[in-house]
Amino acid sequence: MGSIRDGHRERLRKQFLSGELSSQTEEALLELLLTYAIPQKDVQPLSKLLIDRFGNIDAILTAGIQDLCKVSGIKESSAILIHLINTIRTKYPLSPVTTKSFRQAPVARQAELIPRYDHKEVRPAKPKARKRSGVFGKAILKEAIEILPKLPDTDSIAEIRQFLVSNLHFSAEQTRQRNASYITQRMFPNGKADQALRLFARKYEGLQELRDVCFYRFCKAEPVMIDVISEVIIPAIGIGKIKRRRIHDYLSERFPESKSIADCTKAIVDALSAGAIVHADRTQLSFAYREISPRSFAFVLHSEFPEPGMHDLAKLEQNRHIVAMLWNPTRILPTLYELRNLELISKISEIDNVRQFTTKWRLEEAVARITS
């Protein structure tokens, strides 16, 4: 058994050193790291368990030692090694100089290229959400919409995730951990449980406004949703329905090597249904352009145009994330005037060929006024 395990570890190292793509996945990198902390154990299951628990490798590296030690199989020495990696990468960020550029530089300049550290305290970087651009297997949007109004009043993703693990209705803890990661990554993509969404969720619990906003953030996190709506649903808006199979066929053409097309089809339909964007039965989806709620429209508007100032109205009307909401395009401008009347934006200008609107709040400030 020892020789088999040692052979596997040696293959991991050789694959990493040769730059093989299979060695660059989050799970493979974490497994290799754990081999240096845990010498006498198969650490591949532990690598999977950590990713299921925390969501991605950034969240693992930035987790506290005590949180890491709560995972079965992780002892203090392993937790310290993981935490040490994050401390090094944040306290002493890598210099952009490369070995090649160093060797090619004149000798007189080589000393200048060596990074110098002033040992000033550097705050740890916030964990970045994993970039999503392909298929996904679970929506968990209905559950997110139901539980968001009940979240504790904290901007700590770790505390939010722990609350979700404790309160999601799934029986298996590993399932709760995995789905808690889905919710935090999609609803709070910047690694912070922003107050804007938490306030909005409490104000509009059980209402379409909250479904709109959660669906918007879901689409931001899963770009294939935007593509399906733009290329499959909107072209059929005049008919008002499509077969479920049409989404499956689109994904098969888009991702011919994926083995998760059926799961992704179901997840997309689940998300569309949870957001009340479509009505779905076993064989088809029915839909039409929807009425616009000024409150959810304001949330999305200030998310897409975050800086107060003057903006091109055409960019609003053509914005892919706003188009994907299936809001009636003929009601965009009238709703914008409603926001002006509510003093959520400053003005709208339609003079000759100049069509602009001016915002005056950032998202948090706008939501504070919406929910007051």
In a domain, 134, yes or no: no
pLDDT band at 226 (very low <50, low <70, confident <90, very high): very high
Q: Please state the rounded mean pLDDT for residues 196-201.
A: 97
pLDDT in tens, 336-353: 999 999 999 999 998 888
> Are 188 and 303 members of one domain?
no
Domain hosting residue 15, numbered range: 2-91
> Are 244 and 335 members of one domain?
no
pLDDT in tens, 155-180: 899 999 999 999 999 999 899 999 99
pLDDT band at 25 (very low <50, low <70, confident <90, very high): confident
pLDDT at 132 > cutoff 50: no
Q: Please state the rounded mean pLDDT for residues 11-16.
A: 81
What's the rounded Cα separation, in Å, for the pair 194 and 188? 7
Counting residues of the chain whose pLDDT is more than 90, the rounded percentage is: 59
What was the pLDDT predicted at 54? 80
Average pLDDT, the chain: 86
> Are 77 and 42 members of one domain?
yes
> Are 281 and 341 members of one domain?
no
Number of domains making up the chain: 3
pLDDT in tens, 97-112: 454 454 555 555 545 5
In a domain, 60, yes or no: yes
> Are 66 and 9 members of one domain?
yes
> Are 320 and 196 members of one domain?
no
What was the pLDDT predicted at 354? 87
Residues 6+ positions from 192 with CB-CB distance below 8 Å: 126, 155, 157
Looking up residue 363, the CATH number of its domain turns out to be: 1.10.10
Q: Please state the rounded mean pLDDT for residues 211-218.
A: 98
In a domain, 132, yes or no: no
Q: Which amino acid is at 86?
A: N
The whole model's pTM is what?
0.68
Whether the CB-CB separation of 297 and 342 falls below 8 Å is answered with no
